[in-house]
Amino acid sequence: MATQDWRVGNQICQILSSSGQKVVSLSYLCSETRAQPSEVRAALRKLGELGCPISHGREGYLLEPDAQLLEMDELTRNLRPGLVRWAITYFFYINSTQSAVRAMAERDAHEGTTVLAEMQSRGVGRLGRNWSSPYCGIWLSSLLRPRRTLENQLLTIAASLAITRAVSAVCGIKSELKWPNDVQIGGRKVAGVLGTSEYRGERLRSVAVGLGINANIDLNLLPGSFRDQATSLKAELGAKVDREQLIASALNNLSSLYAKLERAEEDEIVDEARKNCSTLGRRIQVRMGSRLLKGVAQDLDRDGSLILEVEEGRTVRLYSHDVSLLP
């Protein structure tokens, strides 16, 4: 799909969701979206591939009644006042919430600006990797404007902890951090965090914090290449999770963990991360340029970096590298 084509898909979802139980014809969708029938069909096909429950009959298209879209009123009711004042913009479908928030940051959007979507066409991970974002997950990015220069990995750890706390509070499930940015259950990835910092000169101007949580997604919609290493909260619980409560809990926790960072209380955050970090004490390997280092993950430092013991008495500090656990 071309970069802007998510707009047609987003409009289609808007039209179908506001039409209640009325079937909507292809020609109506074309006239409202000002798109060609082929573009509308392509967008509908893509939405279908992402698991969006749109049914199709001779008369036209219908969003199925049990579609269970996010209820923004319920979500905002569950947000607590805190350091960050969240202002959430909701999309059915977008290319990436992360690029949307970064564009808003450039236009001087205030701290707490958040973009939330039901589906993403081009979700991004670290190092240019893709993030699969089918229907019924939680895909959101929030803008923070730290008053002090915070290390990216520290904010990433704080955001990962916000997710583990929310998963425990709302689902009653224990999840763990895999340094630096994964949240796992039983060794499978259930969520990922992406922190994108923007500097002006030496000064940190903003950080877009992206949270991707496989809440109620259908795992079969993930590519086979990593499906076995992934899980969803629905699969772990055997029932759907309340996404509004989970998002509100993650944002409430993110606000209070961020407030700690702003008060220079990172020791508390690193302590909590240590207790929840499955990487510590494990043999790991990490690629550094052309070198492959192996060693034992010894500890987290107060800036969120990982201390790797490569041989007795010799340690290397890792900041945002990709580590794999060795058996």
Among 80, 129, 274, 275, binds ligand BT5 (CB under 6 A): 129
Assess 287 for contact with ligand BT5 (CB under 6 A). Answer: no
What is the maximal distance between C-alpha atoms in the chain?
Answer: 72
Least Cα distance to 300 among 125, 179, 182, 145 occurs for 179
Query: Smaller CB distance to ligand BT5: residue 33 or 95?
Result: 95
Q: Could you write out the three-class secondary structure of 1-49?
A: CCHHHHHHHHHHHHHHHHCCCCCECHHHHHHHHCCCHHHHHHHHHHHHH
Question: Which of the ranges 33-41, 49-57, 77-85, 185-193 carries the binding residues for ligand BT5, by CB under 6 A?
Answer: 185-193
The CA-atom distances, in angstroms, between 168 and each of 195, 245, 246, 271, 276 are: 23, 12, 10, 18, 12
**Burial 80-95, CB ≥16 within 10 A → b, else e:** eebbbebebbebbbbb
Residues from 77 through 116 that contact ligand BT5 (CB under 6 A)? 96-98
Beta bridge partners of 197: 207
CB of 54 to ligand BT5, least distance (A): 21
- Report how many residues bind ligand BT5 under the rule CB under 6 A: 29
CB of 292 to ligand BT5, least distance (A): 18
Binding-site string for ligand BT5 from residue 189 to residue 228, where x marks contact by CB under 6 A and - marks none = x--xxx---------------xxx-x-------x---x--
Among 139, 152, 176, 216, binds ligand BT5 (CB under 6 A): 139
- By beta carbon distance, the residue nearest ligand BT5 is 192
The angle subtended at Cα 168 by Cα 166 and Cα 170, nearest 5°, is 65
Task: Count each helix (H run) and each strand (E run) in the chain, helices first.
Answer: 10, 16
CB of 265 to ligand BT5, least distance (A): 26
Cis peptide before 180 (omega within 30 of 0): yes
Q: Is the dihedral of CA 84, 87, 93, 94 positive or negative?
A: negative
Query: Smaller CB distance to ligand BT5: residue 33 or 113?
Result: 113
Residue 57: is it exposed, middle or buried by C-beta count within 10 angstroms (0-12/13-18/19+)? exposed
CB of 117 to ligand BT5, least distance (A): 8
Query: Smaller CB distance to ligand BT5: residue 24 or 50?
Result: 50
Assess 124 for contact with ligand BT5 (CB under 6 A). Answer: yes
Residue 134: is it exposed, middle or buried by C-beta count within 10 angstroms (0-12/13-18/19+)? buried
CB of 229 to ligand BT5, least distance (A): 7
Assess 126 for contact with ligand BT5 (CB under 6 A). Answer: yes
Assess 230 for contact with ligand BT5 (CB under 6 A). Answer: yes
CB of 141 to ligand BT5, least distance (A): 5
Contacts with ligand BT5 by CB under 6 A lie at 96-98, 120, 123-127, 129, 131-133, 139-141, 181-182, 189, 192-194, 210-212, 214, 222, 226, 230
